[in-house]
Amino acid sequence: MTTEQKQEYDVLGTRPIRHDGTDKVTGRAQYGADLQLPRMIHGAILRSPYAHAKIVSIDTSQAESLAGVHAVVTGADMPEVESRVANLGETSVDVDYLSQNVLARNKVFYKGHTVAAVAAENAHLAEEAARLIRVEYEPLPVVLNVQDAIRDDAVLLHERLKTQSLGLDSSEKPSNIAKYFLYEKGNLDEGFQNATVVVEREFRTATVHQGYIEPHNATALWNLDGHLTVWTSTQGAFMARDQLSDVLDLPVSRITVVPMEIGGGFGGKIAVYMQPLAALLSKKSGRPVKMLMDRASCFEATGPTPGSVIKVKMGADAEGKITAAKAELYYEAGAFPGSPVNPGCMCIFACYDFPHAKVEGYDVVVNKPRTNAYRAPGSTNAAFATETVIDELCEKLAIDPLVFRLKNAAKEGTRRVDGPQFSRIGMWETVDAIRQCDHAKSSKDARQPNIVDGMEYAYGRGVASGFWFNAGLRSSVTATVRPDGTVSLVEGSTDIGGTRTSIAMQLAETLGIAAEDVQPTVADTDGVGYTDVTGGSRTTYATGWAAYEAAKDIVRQLIERAAEIWETDPENITYNNGTVCGPDNRSLSFKEFAKKLNKTGGPITGRGVSDHNEPGGAFATHLVDVAVDQETGKVEIVRYTAAQDVGKAIHPAYVEGQMQGGVVQGIGWALNEEYIYDEQGAMQNPTFLDYRMPTCLDVPMIETLIVEVANPGHPYGVRGAGEVPIVPPPAAIANAIYNAVGIRMTELPMSPPRLLHEMSK
């Protein structure tokens, strides 16, 4: 592997202003909803009022005859597609289920499931027309949690669904368990026999939503030549293209996806929802069709993260070494298979190095929206269980939780329960960073008076670690040298967290030029090579690597050109730190050389592709102090410090931003966020008023400790940094609450009523 890792960089590790900053702060950046096309019409969706029902009939005639209505589509308009697994980057999806999720055919599987879509002159008219569609339903009993779903007498969602295990149908009859995963290492019995203490607990987590600020959107134009163009905010234009290709049964070359700016995704903007509907409506109407989703539909009909039930049993010896651990994870897939239970299984014990383990995972369908990725999908649920159990083990052994983690930290060579062996990783270093930080050294008691404004608070401190394996996958870029010595960079990664800049910086570092001298552009699917989603914490790692390759390709050509100009062999030319050097002390800076290119053989364009899968595991250890309001059960986050191994922080400000953002989402998940359902499977709180996410008033400044243990699997040592910070918060906060009020919370969210209920027992 080519690697250019070094101690000091010129560009990497600095904090240049982001290239797209002005557009975003001045409102010029074009998000999906901003798009206007000539003769554009507007779509609306009719959604199921039932969480589980047969569709007996659909009558669209009244809607179609309403003046100003251009097209109506129902399940009958969707091409029949074969059941087949398609890759979605970190996750995958069965194409037939994806198609049914986009538009219900014979059954609806959750409240909010799309039953029909309408396009009309304006959005209001389209909504009115949607209400004129008459659907006859035959309601069915609903299944809303894994316990009910896996009962022998459970109502089945899908007649054709049999449990898959190791890729084979392992159940004889249909089941709501879509998949079963099993990972083992060592000998569990032996392990528990060696334990001095054993803790076994069961945990529950609620369904939570990514809560991206920008709702879903899609505008489609199905041209008369059969070419489909879709403008949408998405985490991956190519993946949106490929899903459209799958569900519409079109070759990828007939589809162009133009990624708009994206107002948050966190894993929730990978799957397609309205894109195929807008496409079909455009095909029928011959007009560009724009569809915008409202917030309630975002909650009810896109992909939140699964609610889960997790059992963990763990033993440790008197020295504080883990001897064995066992876990069962039940994740709600939602209406169609595909929860992140497998990543949950892979992550649940990944922070620790111990010999005996068994992990079982169940992907269970229930009558809720089909879940999708949410920042380190599956790992937060799992860490809540493991890290709370460890805290209890530490208590029983009277060992400091940080010391315990240092003793057991996974390290280079540790083999995960699911098989892979770690290369150089920084788990130990994140614990050590927390141990040495100001926050850890501060007194727990000296922080604040116990009574503030007449209310009595209990203070506690908690710690937890977390793991995310990160993704590698494929990225493509091209880069062209311009005559003023700047470089235009064309990339396929949509920019959610500042990756235009973190990728440009790697190109700049490799060329030995300034970050500001690289100007990045995110292209559509025709303008650049295949690039996987912005997800899996892969973008700075993989697209950055592609940029590094493009820079190398530019350097190769610069050297050849210099050899031509100076009439020598390329071997006599070197390129170092932005300077081309030739024989007889001849040298030219990159900028000087750039000026000459157009007159000495033409411009130079470099291409770079990356397809590497050594993204380096990401580890985080968090420390939190909480104040529990004794009267209301409300938990205040008093101080929060997050340490994380990011390999190499390309742009430390964005790494800090990712860490802080992940922590805040983890705090919301820990304390307040949850889908509240009634017995018929109707979500009771599908608004930001009732679904309570943290605001800036709810959290203190999150302190960050960037740990840099270079990833040997990247030329600049980069590891993905975006996801793992969401993993530790719920467990860290649960441990702090225990520390404050002596109650072990085993269910998320640890909301005031729930905590008050436990405290009043």
**Cα torsion through 379, 382, 385, 389, rounded to 10:** -80
Strand partners, 452: 455
The residue range among 20-28, 55-63, 75-83, 694-702 that interacts with its own copies, by the rule CB under 8 A, is 20-28
Residue indicated by tokens 């690289």: 518
Closest among 139, 108, 97, 138 to 46, alpha carbons compared: 108
Contacting its own copies within 206-235 (CB under 8 A) = 221, 223-225, 227
Compare residues 24 and 754 and give the one whose CB is closer to its own copies.
Answer: 24
419 binds its own copies (CB under 8 A): no
Residue indicated by tokens 């600049």: 716
22 binds its own copies (CB under 8 A): yes
Buried b (16+ CB within 10 A) or exposed e, 327-355: bbbbbbbbbbbbbbbbbbbbbbbbbbbbb
The residue range among 131-139, 251-259, 580-588, 665-673 that interacts with its own copies, by the rule CB under 8 A, is 251-259
Element (H, E) at 518: strand 518-522
Contacting its own copies within 76-95 (CB under 8 A) = none
Closest among 641, 310, 208 to 462, alpha carbons compared: 641
CB 592 within 8 A of CB 519: no
Compare residues 222 and 640 and give the one whose CB is closer to its own copies.
Answer: 222
421 binds its own copies (CB under 8 A): no
The residue range among 34-42, 102-110, 614-622, 703-711 that interacts with its own copies, by the rule CB under 8 A, is 34-42
- Angle at Cα 443 formed by Cα 452 and Cα 652, nearest 5°? 100
Compare residues 344 and 529 and give the one whose CB is closer to its own copies.
Answer: 529
Amino acid at 741: V
483 binds its own copies (CB under 8 A): yes
The residue range among 33-41, 98-106, 133-141, 700-708 that interacts with its own copies, by the rule CB under 8 A, is 33-41
> At 244, phi and psi to the nearest 5?
-60, -40
Closest among 45, 46, 328, 375 to 209, alpha carbons compared: 375
Q: Which of 519, 568, 587, 680 binds its own copies (CB under 8 A)?
A: 519
Strand partners, 479: 489, 606
Q: How far is the CB of 253 from its own copies (least distance, A)?
A: 4
Structure tokens at 83: 């059941």
311 binds its own copies (CB under 8 A): no
CB 142 within 8 A of CB 51: yes
490 binds its own copies (CB under 8 A): yes
The residue range among 28-36, 55-63, 300-308, 459-467 that interacts with its own copies, by the rule CB under 8 A, is 28-36
The residue range among 248-256, 388-396, 448-456, 745-753 that interacts with its own copies, by the rule CB under 8 A, is 248-256
Q: Which of 305, 465, 478, 665 binds its own copies (CB under 8 A)?
A: 478
The residue range among 168-176, 304-312, 473-481, 673-681 that interacts with its own copies, by the rule CB under 8 A, is 473-481
Compare residues 604 and 726 and give the one whose CB is closer to its own copies.
Answer: 604
Q: How far is the CB of 485 from its own copies (least distance, A)?
A: 8
Q: How far is the CB of 527 from its own copies (least distance, A)?
A: 6
Rounded distance between C-alpha atoms, residue 45 and residue 292, angstroms: 10
Rounded distance between C-alpha atoms, residue 346 and residue 359, angstroms: 8
Q: How far is the CB of 473 from its own copies (least distance, A)?
A: 9
Q: How far is the CB of 476 from its own copies (least distance, A)?
A: 5
Say if strands 107-108 and 618-629 run parallel, antiparallel, or are unpaired: unpaired
Compare residues 21 and 186 and give the one whose CB is closer to its own copies.
Answer: 21
Compare residues 18 and 435 and give the one whose CB is closer to its own copies.
Answer: 18
Q: Is 378 helix (H, G, I), strand (E, B) or coil?
A: coil
Rounded distance between C-alpha atoms, residue 608 and residue 383, angstroms: 37
# residues near its own copies by CB under 8 A: 50
CB 119 within 8 A of CB 71: yes
Say if strands 703-707 and 107-108 run parallel, antiparallel, or are unpaired: unpaired
Compare residues 609 and 670 and give the one whose CB is closer to its own copies.
Answer: 609
488 binds its own copies (CB under 8 A): yes
508 binds its own copies (CB under 8 A): no
598 binds its own copies (CB under 8 A): yes
CB 357 within 8 A of CB 324: yes
674 to 703: interface string for its own copies, x by CB under 8 A = ------------------------------
26 binds its own copies (CB under 8 A): yes
Say if strands 474-481 and 635-645 run parallel, antiparallel, or are unpaired: unpaired
Compare residues 472 and 728 and give the one whose CB is closer to its own copies.
Answer: 472
DSSP 152-176: TTPPPS-TT---EETTEE--SS--S
601 binds its own copies (CB under 8 A): yes
Closest among 256, 333, 254, 414 to 93, alpha carbons compared: 333
579 binds its own copies (CB under 8 A): no
Rounded distance between C-alpha atoms, residue 624 and residue 506, angstroms: 34
592 binds its own copies (CB under 8 A): no
Q: Is 296 helix (H, G, I), strand (E, B) or coil?
A: helix
Binding site for its own copies (CB under 8 A): 21-23, 26, 28, 34, 36, 38, 221, 223-225, 227, 251-253, 474-476, 478, 480-484, 486, 488, 490, 517, 519, 521, 523, 525-530, 553, 598, 601-607, 609-611
